[in-house]
Structure 1
Amino acid sequence: MMVNRCGLFGANEEPVPLKSVEVELEVRDHVATVVSTLNYQNQEDKPLEAVFVFPLPGDAAVCHFSAKVGQTEIVGEVKEKQEAREEYDDALSSGQQAFLLEESEQSPDIFSLSVGTLPPGESASIRLEYVTELAVQADEGLRFLLPAVLNPRYQPQGSVRRVNVQVTSVPASLVPYTLSFSARVSSPRPVSKVESSSPLDPLQYLNTEQTQATVKLAAGHKFDRDVELLIYYKDAHQPSAVVEAGRASSQPGSLMGDPVVMLSLYPEFPQAVMSSMASCGEFVFLLDRSGSMGGERIKNARDTLLLLLKSVPLGCYFNIYSFGSTFEHIFPKSEEYNQKTMEEALKKVEKMEADLGGTEILKPLKHIYRQPSIPSQPRQVFVFTDGEVGNTKEVINLVKQNSASHRCFSFGIGEGASSALINGLAKEGGGHAQFITGTDRMQPKVMQSMRFALQPSVVDVSVKWDLPSGVSVTALSPPIAALFQGQRSLVYAQFTGQSSEASEGCVTVAYSLAGHPSQTQLHFSLKPAKDSGLTIHRLAARTLIRSLEMEESERGGQEEAGGKKKVVELSVQSGVSSAFTAFIAVNKSNSEAIQGPLVRRMVPAPRMMARRCMARPRSMMSPMSCDMALQPLGSNSPMSGYMAQQQQMSPIRAVSYCNVPRSMMSK
């Protein structure tokens, strides 16, 4: 079998037109604004189209897209996706420069950027901006992740295939473009420290109060990992409410024209209730043993599972499933947790390897949900995966449909783990998400998830507003599905109307825990925050868009339901990307068409390790998936089962360059 490098080089070692990526991060309290500039240059003697498929955080609100060619800046518009694609194709057909940015319909953490008709010798800078909230970690740090690694996504057979994302990737050492990264952090409270798994230059404070600071990624980042920042404030996690004024040019009564509030709630449950809780539950652990989990990933997943397993209280019930192309379980049904069953389980877990083939997560989940519940033992499902699947929304939908019968706690294992899948499982399953990229901080993360799982479900959650006469409120966030002791909950709402009376409002979140009613109350000013731009509006729009997309996905995408139309209207109005829209920018200042045949160049994203490259059928999300470590393909190889499955599906062929249809997302 002949195997070539894939993605980076063509037969004649064509250069990659993306030269550098510059990222500027601004963090205000727990909200991050990210500006990425991608610098392209055509060093060939013919016009190019460059296509780059890359990861972004799954909960990011992409809100600006523009291109600068020479002294000309072209600002992108949000349009319905098919309309945007047709405009892009028409521009290229007529020799105009065009730029298209679109989000995957199946997984919101994958984007495709097409830079069309870049003339010989020409340079172009693409500016991409998004906003996102920062998740609270077990040690109370705020986590920002800049995804750098994009691993090919496995598309299970028989699953819904709405999108055909061509992942072109190379080992991190072969990535031909550079990355520079700088961050500015500001907060009402002092910045204690900023840490990262990547080397950083020393933190620089900008004032004596230490409430503002800057930090940079040290030179020479090798793309061998995602860039993770952990930001620590003094006394950071206090309830807060920020009201942001609407856009003056937008219609009053619309989302962008009215004020929007972002509530950050940190519920504190009565100590008497927390200390009197009985430890009970059925703990179902689901471990990914697909081929992509090889090496450090399966070790970290095993270590995480072993820590959890040793923390289950006596008298609870448990079972352990593992999956790849098929799935296994260590007991026919959940067994009572005692010394004997724990020791039996520990021995089996310690022997688990990444040897079960592809990533078929739906089958074991469906099997788990079919199992009868155990009286007085609420079910808690723990999922450990690298998230390399192409049917993200199908999996999340299944968890949501069964959310009344269990809570789902997810662990993203390794670099490049899909934030859309890991966060989506926890959000729709009423649980909590963690990301494990090494042994650092593993134990506090594991123990936090176990504490949350042992906490009884909060029920009868209601949000009540007390506002001045003349002001009404519209909820923009879905109903709160889970509350955990001391963990942040975010609520977005829109205020319509005005009042000449009081300038203060109040919100009360009431709930019941273990039969004990409780509530959290927050008073806040209705006066809009200064110099806040439209960050909160865009985050609120993103939240509402994701809710509408989920409803549309549950309905199976029926056009008559009107869900897609609502998403498109909201996306266009707010300027925030969605699964059904795209950013399109066309350079109409050029009076002369660019001549010559257009040559396509695929810009590679980094992956974690050198892997063998092979072809998959077009039904897979990555026809050129490189899911293989450079190791002998013997019968005992962890990947042998996975490769055997692929060889049955299509012949192996040598691939050195991927020339795919222009549209990276299926129509």
Structure 2
Amino acid sequence: MITSIATLRPEECEPVPDAGLGALFTERGNLPLESVDVTAAVSGLIAGVEVVQGFRNPHDVALEATYVFPLPDRAAVTAFRMEADGRIIEGILKERGQARADYDQAVAEGRRAAIAEEDRPDVFTIRVGNIVPGERVTVHLTLNQPLPYEDGAATFRFPLVVAPRYIPGTPLDGDQAGGGWSPDTDAVPDASRITPPVLLPGFPNPVRLSLAVSVDPAGLELREIRSSLHAVLQEGTTVSLQPGERLDRDFILRLSFGTSTSLALVPDAGDGEEGTFTLTVVPEQARGAATPKDVALVLDRSGSMTGWKMVAARRAAARIVDTLTGGDRFAVLSFDTVVEAPEGLGPGLSPASDRNRYRAVEHLARLEARGGTEILAPLEQAVALLADSARDRVLVLVTDGQVGNEDQILERVGARLAGMRVHTVGIDRAVNAGFLGRLAGLGAGRCELVESEDRLDEAMEHIHRRIGAPLVTDLSLKADGLDLVPGTVSHLGSIYPGVPLTVLGRYRGDASGALTVHGLDSAGQPWERRVAGSRTDSPATRAIWARARLRVLEDRYAAGDHSLEEEIVGISLTYGVLCRFTAFVAVDSTVVAEGGPGHRVIQPVELPSGWESPVVTAAPMMLTSMAQPQAGAPAPAAPGAAPRFTAGGTGGAAWNMASGTTRGKMRPSGPVPSGARELPRAEIEEELKRLRAAGSLGAADRLRYLADLGSRLAALAVYLGGHAELEALAADLQTGGDVEALWRRAVDGLEALSRSGERRPFWKR
């Protein structure tokens, strides 16, 4: 399936004198997004950020503009407002379905409205409705984000483009969730919301970008400020982008300063009966003792890794293999649409001998980018290899993370990562940091992001230390004079060399007391550190804790625990922090466009810097699927096929990629809490379709078919954590008897289950 995308040559466009830098005029009209302005204030290890997006309607009818954009994956979005025609409309945070209903009603009635929604931890969508002809509308987002810190430097990373993502799965029938280039699939039910059209390479810069960061070390000694991907101007401790930069790569600022062990207690505004704490424990510089370990290295060689990313990924993987010692065992899995291992190594874990490490490095040196990013299968293989090991188990994933089925992956492997250390190495200038951070968090590991080959050596030194034994494990927390709120303390993980332990949580009562961290050092001896608290005024801490708590709950929801939806919505609304189940909506009371918008535009985004042009190369990003097609499904694109270009009506120059078909949705293994999962309507409907198709079989064959169907339904009931109707139908079909009566029972039962399983997912409500 291909969505129609407008295609314009740069020579067909001419500047509009009054429209500002980068605005374009075409017969189809301007692109609606004129400007993006980012202003950040860093104070110690926290950044407060305001993002202002400016939209203009160049058409002669009212416009609805949609913009899909990234934000830092750990950021807490706490405020939203719309400004138009001298009016300021503050956004209200509501349950997502209610916010959408309010927005849709306002737009249909001809009133201005705007809505901000989260689709992934780092992918957001803004819609602005009823921008009248010639009008400019701005929307403002306020957010706070923590800065990761290690080896004496904090990192302020602000993403600026949503990169094209590989979308696996079978296209779904019915209405699409969004207007992107990919159809929704069973593996990525909201694919059409996270796949905005992409500007053709070389298209004139359509958006004016400004970004400025002021740095207050907050009492710490600031030694150096470095920008790794952009040319910047620096005046004192304020850094800003040079004019003319494009929204095509992350903005990265590294701030070198020292930090220290501390416990900050921040009372809530108002009565101060509760508050938020941030505990920071800076580890000693000693390295952990070397212990034999089992390492599974998973390397992405898909088409989106073309160019410098493949070179960096090969180097990174080879460096990891070289760090192994003779007492270790390892496996190397490289993947695109298929999974491959080095020749000469066994199917399981191999001793890390010189010969085996040479074979692995030789295999890595031959890898070239190709194919689709079928990341689930190699992760499952790696988890299976490490599952029964009694040693220290380490899984390392090297990838750009550009996939859309993050929730499916977490559902399949998330629970099985417990007890393993999962380290992710993200290689890209517009990396999917949200997904890689979620994986590393579930596996009590670290996420290292590499934006250039120049940064690789520094990053690999970090990874080398992570793969070795942690300094302190089995961490626990004990309060002294501080009343902690149960269930609010973040995951403790382990302590690694050069990486401070950061723990957030909530407390009741006075802002006084101490916390003691207990654990075991690398020699297995007891270890503890007591930290006295000090009262601090840092309002952003409360929002940052809430966002971290929501992220944990959302990951558990993605892994199958759908009972958490009410709790997620409650925390989001209580603390005023946007999440996937809520949305900010701003609605004006004035009617400005009778009948609603006459034109709708999805803003195309930039091709990420470092991604090779699909016009130039025969092995481009390869977001097309290349698994074997199912019966009746359209054939997938051949390896190396370029994205296809189509013409249509979005109002800007963009290129589009075909989406083929892969294997269907799979269910995870392992125990599932009772009642944790919803009945999968799509699978029930598929069983019903196959049952009707088998109606012409003979009586004996139909009885066998019904028995097999019963066994599948019984397995599905176990997967769901128990389901009375499924279990009853499965038992009847496996008992045997009159084939005609059983056949009617099967059809009626599946039809009833199909109706009862119908529930719109939260992103379509």
Into which bin does the TM-score normalised by the smaller protein fall?
0.7 to 0.9
- 2:267 aligned to 221, 242, 245, which one? 245
Residue 214 of structure 2 is aligned to residue 181 of structure 1: no
Q: What's the offset of the Cα at 1:391?
A: 1.3
Alignment of 1:103-182 (within 5 A): 103-104=118-119, 107-137=120-150, 139-157=151-169, 160-164=187-191, 165=193, 166-171=195-200, 173-174=202-203, 175-182=205-212
Q: Distance in 1 between matches of 2:382 and 2:266?
A: 44
Distance 1:386 1:184, change over 3 A: same
List alignment gaps of at least 5 residues for structure 2.
Answer: 10-24, 171-185, 638-642, 657-760
Paired letter, 1:163 = D
| Residues 592 and 658 of structure 1, relative CA distance in 2, 3 Å threshold | closer
CA contact (8 A) 1:8 1:602 kept: no
Tell me which of 52, 72, 78 is aligned to 2:67: 52
1:255-654 → structure 2 map (5 Å cutoff): 258-268=274-284, 271=286, 274=287, 277-330=289-342, 331=345, 332-355=347-370, 357-371=371-385, 377-456=391-470, 458-467=472-481, 471=483, 473-474=485-486, 476-498=488-510, 504-513=512-521, 514-525=523-534, 527-529=535-537, 532=538, 534-557=539-562, 561=563, 563-588=564-589, 590=590, 593-594=593-594, 597-608=597-608, 629-631=614-616, 633=618, 637=619, 642=624, 648-649=635-636, 654=646
Match of 1:621 in 2: none
Q: Which has the larger radius of gyration?
A: 2
Deviation at 1:162, TM superposition (A): 3.7
CA separation of 1:553/1:98 partners in 2, compared to 1, >3 Å: closer, same or farther?
same
Q: Distance in 2 between matches of 1:8 and 1:61?
A: 38
Q: What letter is aligned with 2:209?
A: L
C-alpha distance in 1 between matches for 2:350 and 2:595: 71
Aligned to 2:96: 81
Instruction: Please tell me the residue identity of whatever aligns with 1:167.
Output: P
* Structure 2 residue identity aligned to 1:385: T
* Residues 172, 145 of structure 1: alpha-carbon distance in 2 compared, 3 angstrom cutoff: farther
Other-structure match for 2:250: 226
**Cα distance in 1, alignment partners of residues 436 and 87 from structure 2:** 40
Alignment-mate amino acid for residue 131 of structure 2: L
Letter matched to residue 657 of structure 1: G
CA RMSD, 1 decimal: 3.0
* Structure 1 residue 446: Cα displacement: 1.0
Shift of 1:181: 0.8
Counterparts of 1:179 and 1:378, CA distance in 2: 47
Distance 2:78 2:333 in 1: 41
Measure the CA separation in 1 of the matches of 2:617 and 2:234. 45
C-alpha contact 1:171 1:610 (8 A) present in aligned 2: no
Residue aligned with 1:605, SS:
coil
- Residues 1:644 and 1:628: Cα distance change in structure 2 (over 3 Å): farther
How far is 1:408 from its partner? 0.7
Query: Per the alignment, in what secondary structure is the counterpart of residue 483 of structure 1?
Result: coil
Question: Which digits, 9 at most, give the CA deviation of each residue in 1:341-383, with x for residues without a partner?
Answer: 122111111110112x211111111122222657653221110
Answer yes or no: is the 8 Å Cα contact 2:474–2:494 preserved in 1: no
Q: Which has the higher helix share?
A: 2
Which ranges in structure 1 are unaligned for 5 or more consecutive residues? 206-212, 612-626
Deviations 1:242-292 (A, max 9, x none): 2223132xx776xxxx221122222338x5xx56x2342112110111111
Q: Is the 8 A contact 1:131 1:535 kept in 2?
A: yes
Q: For residues 591-629 of structure 1, give each alpha carbon's deviation from its aligned partner in whole angstroms, at most 9, with x where no partner exists.
A: 555456520111122122698xxxxxxxxxxxxxxx972
Which stretch of the first structure deviates more once superposed, 63-72 or 329-338? 329-338
Deviation at 1:571, TM superposition (A): 0.8
Give the number of equivalent residue pairs: 608
With the length of structure 2 as denominator, give the TM-score of the two structures.
0.74
1:291 touches 1:628 (CA, 8 Å); kept in 2? no
CA deviation vs aligned residue, 1:376-401 (integer Å, no higher than 9, x gap): 53221110111111111232344431
The verdict on how the C-alpha distance between 1:33 and 1:597 changes in structure 2, with shifts beyond 3 A counting, is closer
Query: Is the partner of 1:515 in helix, strand or coil?
Result: coil
Q: Is the 8 A contact 1:173 1:223 kept in 2?
A: no
Where do residues 32-51 of structure 1 align in structure 2 (5 Å cutoff)?
Answer: 32-51=47-66
Which residue identity is paired with 1:131? N
Distance 1:655 1:592 in 2: 32
- Aligned to 1:170, the other structure's residue is in SS state coil
Contact 1:119 1:594 (C-alpha < 8 Å) held by counterparts: no
Tell me which protein shows more strand as a share of its residues.
1
- Separation (CA, whole Å) in 1 of partners of 2:324 and 2:388: 16
Shift of 1:5: 7.1
Residue type of the partner of 1:601? V
Q: Distance in 2 between matches of 1:610 and 1:383?
A: 21
Q: TM-score, normalised by structure 1?
A: 0.85
